[in-house]
Amino acid sequence: MARDFDGVGDFISAARADTGFLTDLTVCCWAYIDTGSDYRHFFGNHAGGGGSANPVDFRTNNAATPVMELVRANTDFRDFTGPSVVLGEWRHYAVTSAEAIQTAPTFYLNGSPTTGTVTGGAGTGAPTGSAAAIRIGARADEVVNMDGRIAE
């Protein structure tokens, strides 16, 4: 079942019961992204404010033709980008990441792998925890919102 997000703070939330996002990570979803030119949030455990409040944030960047982006953080962060997002079509988006935040993740668009390119930050080591809930569709600070649909 797909959930429709209008880009204005809609989200699905689940309590974070373990530290599974602090080690190796794999996240995937089917998504239909309506528009670019703004960040579009797939999944995250983000309390806002960056650093240790943001152990994982899987989203698009804010370009007119956006690309997939993964941010992992501890007291510093690493930001990686992957392949371009396809607007106006259902696509399967996925990312796998090692525990060490400096290790480039692998992004998948419809199953085709692309190694991430570092675009910011100098963080190293394991991400630190956040008490924030896991959110799909919008970050807790609502700076990054999905405009489109996400299905499991």
Euclidean distance between CA atoms 43 and 100, whole angstroms: 19
Euclidean distance between CA atoms 38 and 65, whole angstroms: 10
- The model's confidence at residue 1, banded by pLDDT at 50, 70 and 90, is low
Any idea of the CA torsion for 16, 137, 122, 100, to the nearest 10 degrees? Answer: 40
Q: 73-132 pLDDT, tens per residue?
A: 877 888 999 999 989 999 999 999 988 888 999 999 999 999 999 998 888 888 776 667
Give the predicted TM-score (pTM) of the model.
Answer: 0.86
Per-residue pLDDT, 48? 65
Q: How many residues does the chain have?
A: 152
Q: 49-74 pLDDT, tens per residue?
A: 665 667 788 889 999 999 999 988 87
Residue in 7, 148, 29 with CA at minimum distance from that of residue 89: 148
SS3 92: strand
Average pLDDT over residues 17-40: 80
Please report the DSSP string for 12-65 in residue order.
EEE---S-GGGSSEEEEEEEEE---SS--EEEEE--SSSGGG-SEEEEE-SSSS
SS3 146: coil
Residue in 83, 76, 84 with CA at minimum distance from that of residue 122: 76
